[in-house]
Amino acid sequence: MRIVDDTASLRNITANLVDGSIAVNGDVSTKGAVPNFNMDLNLKSLDIAKSFQGLELLRNLAPIVEALQGKLTTDLKLQGNLNEDLTPQLQTLAGNAFAQILGAEVDPEKTPLLAKLDERLTFVNLDDLDLNDLKTYLTFNAGRVEVKPFNFNVKGINVTAGGSHGFDMSMDYDLTLDIPAEFLGSSLSGVLSKLTSQELANTSVPLPVGISGNFRNPNISLNMDQAVNSLTQSIIDKQKDNLKEKGKDILTGIITGNRGNQADTTATGQQSTTDTIPASERDKVKDAARDILGGILGGRKKKTDTVE
């Protein structure tokens, strides 16, 4: 550490901390009316449970870690003002963090947020929440933490989460769960019967979930209407595609004359197909098919023959 012009410069300071390690580089200045700091912190393989109990900063940056058991690695860039005892003024903090969770297990009952989510999302079990090797990026300023959207898995269900929370524990987060369509069966009143068993097995639907309130008293809202509408539209689109394919097959048969083919036997005894429609008649069929297509796709009127 070097002190020059009322500023303490810390370089390559390392220490063991809560079963992991910390490396510090930065400056602390008392030159102005309010002391301030600027720090780069590298926290490696910290025990999450012990860190949550001993580090106030971590509790404010990521309250959700209260429910985790495992290791945390993060790079933090921090700056802000200091109190008279040189502790950070949380409302003045600015910076960013890249965090990685290693080997984490989840206990939903340890935090009201996960407990209420577990209660509302009856089709998933948060005990199966897989946060191993989860990576996320945080930015913070003026007492609020912004979390860039990240993905995790709950026993085969992909979840995308993102939003923000404050150091006052208020929060505003959005989740999207890609759930199997069959989970909405009771809400669709037979619409799922339009899908084949294979389509049903391969179809998922995004379920939006809003989280507000605060970490101790969260509000959870499931937008089931949007999920049902999304799935219904997906089924309609599949039916349209199926009809288009059937229409193409029919028109192809008309244009090529395959619908008038009949079997014939050649001198070699092998079966072949020969077109029984005369060339002049086949041209008329093609013209008629093109006119039908034009009327469907472009609003054109069909040609009419004039009998003299």
Taking only the tens place, the pLDDT of each residue in 29-74 is 999 999 999 999 999 999 988 888 778 888 888 888 888 888 999 9
CA distances from 42 to 6, 45, 48, 268 (A): 25, 10, 15, 82
The pTM of this model reads 0.70
Q: What is the dihedral of CA 284, 289, 293, 299, to 10 degrees?
A: 40
- Centroid of chain to Cα 186: 24
Q: Residue 243 has what pLDDT?
A: 63
**Residue linked to tokens 């020969």:** 274
Residues 6+ away with beta carbon under 8 Å from 13: 1, 23, 24, 25
- The answer to whether residues 98 and 135 touch, using CB atoms and an 8 Å cutoff, is yes
Per-residue pLDDT for 304 more than 90?
Answer: no
List pLDDT tens digits, range 71-110: 999 999 999 999 988 888 988 999 999 999 887 788 888 8
List pLDDT tens digits, range 116-170: 888 888 878 887 887 878 899 999 998 899 999 999 888 888 999 999 999 889 9
List pLDDT tens digits, range 185-203: 555 545 666 666 666 667 7
In whole angstroms, give the CA distance from residue 90 to residue 141.
Answer: 9
CA distances from 277 to 62, 247, 281, 290 (A): 76, 22, 6, 18
**Which of 193, 179, 45 lies closest to 124 in space, CA to CA?**
179
